[in-house]
Structure formats: structure tokens, C-alpha cells
DNA sequence: CTAATAGTGTCTATTAGACACTATCAC
DNA sequence: GTGATAGTGTCTAATAGACACTATTAG
């Protein structure tokens, strides 16, 4: 890599640079509750051992790749679509030094999170004390997630499909959205607002109590 | 500053770090048109000389402070409220090396921008060719600005006050919003949607053609 | 007077929520 | 049958846009 000089006659290497980290709030739904994934750090005392998974950005790496790497290495979770939230840049936020953190949101089905002693899910509405500004990151992530779910049907595919072909009933979709929103949603209004983005399969869901429900699929366009 | 060791036994200084820059799309309205401020770089050939003002983040500095510093030093503009947009992180985006850019939006009245040979305003809808990903930054900034203006009356105070006490007519407010939105806005609907966030002064604007208009002020709560 | 601008009344279409009602299943 | 769930009809309130109408000024 070349090191051209700037207007002051110095190259990039002559300026101090910050460490850049990514920290990710991985949100999921477990037992109808919106939860965030925490990992137990090895190099910390017990009080601040649990935190969001994160890592330092490697040379030449995209932020989204760093997120994917940290989630794979620290939580055994793969195949996600990280969404950038914002940079946390308080110079005092990390007592190890000058560290910027680019906060991310990611979402995964709970059954794809391995169960180990170093991983735990905490209800997003009631997280324990966390180091750095990880609590703020979670708040921003939850807000971003709820906004996405107001606009489209289960955009992160949190819903566990009851049907083998991936189709679902409006009830299943609504329960997922209720978990994300943290409140009940009126069934009739929910149906009408989501139906424009769904296609009927023509098949029905049987085996449960009550009238069989139509099975829908997401619109593919 | 101490340099504690991490899990791998290395301190932060042992890892390569990126340069972190801020680049800011300073938007303004001139002659009823939404414009972006460009500065002429000294260390570039003519084709890519014009660009968004930016700078490298200094140690211990907040991003918003770096934005304020770059705008003061490069464009002679002060007193703004930068809003973070997002990080541009393509490893190839800057051929000088590994440089992340945190894009920002800021807004200033055109009469507060000095006129020099190193500064120019370009219509946001028709910017010239720009280096790096500065064109993308402008697009994101314009979108963010338009969204803010849909929700509240001139939140960045772009409007040039005709009255010495800062009050204004709904026509003046609407013309400012039309410049930002890039299209005409229906006067009656605009009035009704903005009135909840305004307070009447009880005074009237005289001296122009037509019926005198009521003078309003922004709600202070 | 006329042209221009300010401001209001009101109609329509759309939407979210509320609520009642019918439909169809398990049991 | 009963109870539960699915789905629809429809009323209301709120809202944006369209459009007509009145009000008040400059010139």
C-alpha cells in the first residue's frame, strides 16, 4: 500500500488512529418475549462479564463481515444480515483506550442459537447491568427492529414455520409481531395491514382448535 | 493511559487500526433550491478537487466535534448541529489507505456560508462528479433532511426571518419546505399539518400584496 | 376596480381501531 | 351441542388532498 502525503506533508500513518469495534445486539424471540443475546467475556470480572458480542475490525474488513465473524466466533451463530445502527464515540466509553464502536442490529431465530455456558438470552425489556454503552445499543436496536416490523411481515424471518414449505397462518405471523412489539395487536387490523404483502397458498392449516386458517407466503417481488 | 491485555494477551496497540474520517453534507437553500456545500481540496487534481468537507478524527475527539472543526476550518461555518448518518466502510473507498468515513448531515442558512474561491454550492439534485462515495453521502443526507422537514416546521432554521423578532408567515415557512422537498406543497394542507407546532403572535405581516398573513413562532416546548 | 395572497369550509378517499357478526373446526 | 379460532362487514375518528369560497390587501 502506498502512503501518499497529504496537504500537511504527512501520510495517514503519521496520525493517531482509534481502534474500531463492532458491537451487535442480536435480538430473538423466545417464549413470546423479545430477547437479546449476551456472551460471557473471559477477560472480565463477574460484574461485567456479560456483554454484547463484539470484535475489533480487521484490516480490509467490512463492518458487516466483522459482525458476522464476531457472531460466529463468540456465539456460534451464522447466516445473518447485520444492519448498522450508529457509531458510539464517547472517548471515555472504553477504559482500555480510544475505541469507537459501530453498533449493529441482527436478528436470528432462537432455535439457531447454541446453548452453552458462555451464551445467554436476556429479555430486552429487562437487561442486566452491562459494561460500556451496551444498554444504549440494545435500546436503539429494539426501536429499529420494531420499526421494521411495523412496515412488513416478519422481515427477519423470526417466525418458526409450522408448515414444512414455509407457509404460515396470520395468527402465527401476528404472534411473532406481538412478541417484537411487546404488546397485543388487534387481529382484524393486523390482517388487513399485512395482507397486501402476502400471497395466499390456497391451502388451509388444520389440526388446531377452531376454524382452519388460510396459509400465506411472503410476496416474492 | 494504561494498555491492559486482552484475551489473546495483546493490548489494543498491537492491532492495526483504520483511519477514521468524518465527511459532512452541509445542505442549504439558495434561490429556492436545495444545495450542498463543496470545498476545493488543495492536494488533488482538478477532476476531483471539489468534495465534501471532511477531516480525520483527532484523539479524544467526538465525531460531532470533528465535524464542527472541519466545517470551521474548511468552510468558515460555525454553530451547527451535525447529525450522524452512517459509516461508509468499503476498504477500497480511499486509495490512500484504510479509511472509514462517518457521514454526517448538517444544515446552515446560505447567508452564513462565506463566499471564497475554495467554496461552492452545488444543487443537491445535480451534483458534479465527486471523489470517494461523496455522492452517496449526499443522497442519504437529502433523504434524512426531507424526512425531518415532513415532521416539523423548519427544524434546522433554514428560513431567513423577514421579521426582526424571528416570527414568520406560513407562506415563508412553506416556501422553505418546498425548497427542501423539491416540489410544491398544497398551502391548505401544509397549514393544517404545521399549525399544531406553531403559536400565533397575534401580529400580522404587512407591506406585501394580498391579505396580510398572521405571524407565527415555533412552539417552545 | 383587479390581481394576488391568506385563510376556512367541506367533500372525498384512505386508514386504524373497535366491535359485532358469521364460519368452521376440535372436543 | 360448546368453546375457540378465522375471517368479514361496518361504524367511527383522524387525516391528506382537492377544491371552492370568502377576506383583505396593493396598486
A120-134 pLDDT, tens per residue? 999 999 999 998 899
Rounded CA gap, B18 and A97, in Å?
A: 15
- Looking at domain B17-150, its CATH architecture is Alpha-Beta Complex (3.90)
Residue A25 pairs with which residues in a beta bridge? Answer: A105
Residue A9: is its pLDDT beyond 90?
A: no
CA of A196 to C1' of C25 (A): 27
Whether B167 CB is under 7 Å from strand C: no
When pLDDT is cut at 50, 70 and 90, the band that residue A46 belongs to is confident
- Measured in angstroms, the CA of B65 and the nearest CA of chain A are apart by 11
Mean pLDDT, rounded, for B181-193: 95
When pLDDT is cut at 50, 70 and 90, the band that residue B48 belongs to is confident
Please give the share of chain A, as a percent, with pLDDT higher than 70: 92
Neighbour count for residue B32 (Cβ, 10 Å): 9
3-state secondary structure of B37: strand
Residues of A in contact with B102 (CB under 8 A): 87
Whether B208 CB is under 7 Å from strand C: yes
When pLDDT is cut at 50, 70 and 90, the band that residue A210 belongs to is confident
Which three cell numbers, joined as nine digits, stand for A2?
Answer: 502506498
DSSP output for A117-178: TTEEEEETTS----STTHHHHHHHHHHHHHHHHHHSS-TT--SPPSSTTS-B-HHHHHHHHH
What is the dihedral sign for C-alpha B203, B206, B209, B215?
negative
B12: contact with A, CB 8 A cutoff: yes
Sequence-ordered strand ranges (E) for chain A = 19-30, 33-40, 50-51, 54-56, 83-88, 99-107, 119-123, 198-205, 213-218
3-state secondary structure of B200: strand
Say which residue, B45 or B96, is predicted with more confidence.
B96
- Which residue on chain A is closest to B58 by alpha carbon? A16
First-to-last C-alpha distance (Å) of chain B: 43
Question: Using the beta-carbon criterion (under 8 Å), do A89 and B62 form an inter-chain contact?
Answer: yes
Domain ranges for chain A, please list them. Answer: 16-149, 170-218
Which three cell numbers, joined as nine digits, stand for A27?
Answer: 435480538
B146: contact with A, CB 8 A cutoff: no
Instruction: Return mean pLDDT, chain B.
Output: 90
Say which residue, A164 or A74, is predicted with more confidence.
A74
Please give the share of chain B, as a percent, with pLDDT higher than 70: 92
- pLDDT per residue as tens digits for the range A141-155: 999 999 999 999 999
A73: contact with B, CB 8 A cutoff: no
Rounded CA gap, B22 and A64, in Å?
A: 19
Question: Using the beta-carbon criterion (under 8 Å), do A18 and B98 form an inter-chain contact?
Answer: no
Q: How many CA atoms lie within 13 A of B62 on its CB side?
A: 10
Which three cell numbers, joined as nine digits, stand for B83?
Answer: 447529525
When pLDDT is cut at 50, 70 and 90, the band that residue A100 belongs to is very high
Residue A2: is its pLDDT beyond 50?
A: no
Supply the pLDDT for residue B2: 39
B44: contact with A, CB 8 A cutoff: no
Report the alpha-carbon angle B8-A12-B55, nearest 5.
Answer: 110
Rounded CA gap, A168 and A165, in Å?
A: 9
Rounded CA gap, A102 and A63, in Å?
A: 8
CA of B186 to C1' of C7 (A): 13
Residue A5: is its pLDDT beyond 70?
A: no
Strand bridging mode A19-30 / A33-40: antiparallel
Mean pLDDT, rounded, for B18-37: 96
B147: contact with A, CB 8 A cutoff: no
Mean pLDDT, rounded, for A156-180: 93
- Measured in angstroms, the CA of A92 and the nearest CA of chain B are apart by 8
Mean pLDDT, rounded, for B88-102: 93
How is residue A199 annotated by DSSP?
A: E
A155 neighbors A107 (Cβ within 8 angstroms)? no
Mean pLDDT, rounded, for A179-187: 95
Supply the pLDDT for residue B14: 64
How is residue B150 annotated by DSSP?
A: H
Mean pLDDT, rounded, for B10-19: 75
Choosing among 3.30.70.3460, 3.90.79.10, 3.40.50.2300, 3.40.50.970, the CATH entry for A16-149 is 3.90.79.10
Mean pLDDT, rounded, for A158-182: 93
When pLDDT is cut at 50, 70 and 90, the band that residue A4 belongs to is very low
Say which residue, B132 or B18, is predicted with more confidence.
B18
When pLDDT is cut at 50, 70 and 90, the band that residue A161 belongs to is confident
Closest CB from A6, A56, A102 relative to B15:
A56
Instruction: Return mean pLDDT, chain A.
Output: 90
Supply the pLDDT for residue A132: 84
- pLDDT per residue as tens digits for the range B105-155: 999 999 999 999 999 999 999 999 998 899 999 999 999 999 999 999 999
Neighbour count for residue B103 (Cβ, 10 Å): 25
Supply the pLDDT for residue A13: 62
B28 neighbors B158 (Cβ within 8 angstroms)? yes
Question: Using the beta-carbon criterion (under 8 Å), do B61 and A91 form an inter-chain contact?
Answer: yes
Mean pLDDT, rounded, for A171-189: 95
Q: Which of A106, A42, A36 is nearest to A71 (CA)?
A: A106
Which three cell numbers, joined as nine digits, stand for B51?
Answer: 468534495
CA of A189 to C1' of C17 (A): 7
When pLDDT is cut at 50, 70 and 90, the band that residue A44 belongs to is low
Whether A210 CB is under 7 Å from strand C: yes
Supply the pLDDT for residue B9: 46
Q: Which nucleotide is nearest to B195 (CA to C1')?
A: C7
Q: Which nucleotide is nearest to A174 (CA to C1')?
A: D6
Residue A162: is its pLDDT beyond 90?
A: no
Amino acid at each position: 500500500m502506498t502512503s501518499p502525503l497529504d496537504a500537511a506533508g504527512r501520510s495517514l500513518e503519521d496520525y493517531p488512529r482509534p481502534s474500531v469495534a463492532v458491537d451487535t445486539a442480536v435480538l430473538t424471540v423466545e417464549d413470546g418475549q423479545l430477547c437479546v443475546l449476551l456472551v460471557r467475556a473471559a477477560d472480565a470480572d463477574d460484574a461485567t462479564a456479560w456483554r454484547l458480542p463484539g470484535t475489533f475490525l480487521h484490516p480490509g474488513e467490512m463492518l458487516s463481515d466483522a459482525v458476522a465473524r464476531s457472531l460466529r466466533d463468540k456465539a456460534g451463530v451464522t447466516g445473518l444480515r447485520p444492519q448498522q445502527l450508529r457509531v458510539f464515540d464517547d472517548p471515555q466509553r472504553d477504559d482500555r483506550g480510544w475505541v469507537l464502536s459501530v453498533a449493529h442490529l441482527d436478528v436470528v431465530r432462537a432455535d439457531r442459537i447454541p446453548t452453552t455456558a458462555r451464551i445467554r438470552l436476556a429479555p430486552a425489556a429487562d437487561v442486566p447491568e452491562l459494561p460500556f454503552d451496551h444498554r444504549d445499543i440494545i435500546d436503539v436496536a429494539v426501536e429499529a427492529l420494531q420499526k421494521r416490523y411495523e412496515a412488513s411481515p416478519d422481515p427477519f424471518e423470526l417466525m418458526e414455520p409450522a408448515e414444512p414449505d414455509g407457509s404460515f397462518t396470520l395468527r402465527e405471523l401476528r404472534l411473532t409481531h406481538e412478541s417484537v412489539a411487546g404488546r397485543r395487536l388487534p387481529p382484524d387490523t393486523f390482517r388487513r395491514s399485512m395482507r397486501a404483502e402476502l400471497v395466499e397458498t390456497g391451502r388451509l392449516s388444520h389440526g388446531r382448535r377452531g376454524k382452519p386458517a388460510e396459509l400465506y407466503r411472503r410476496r416474492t417481488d
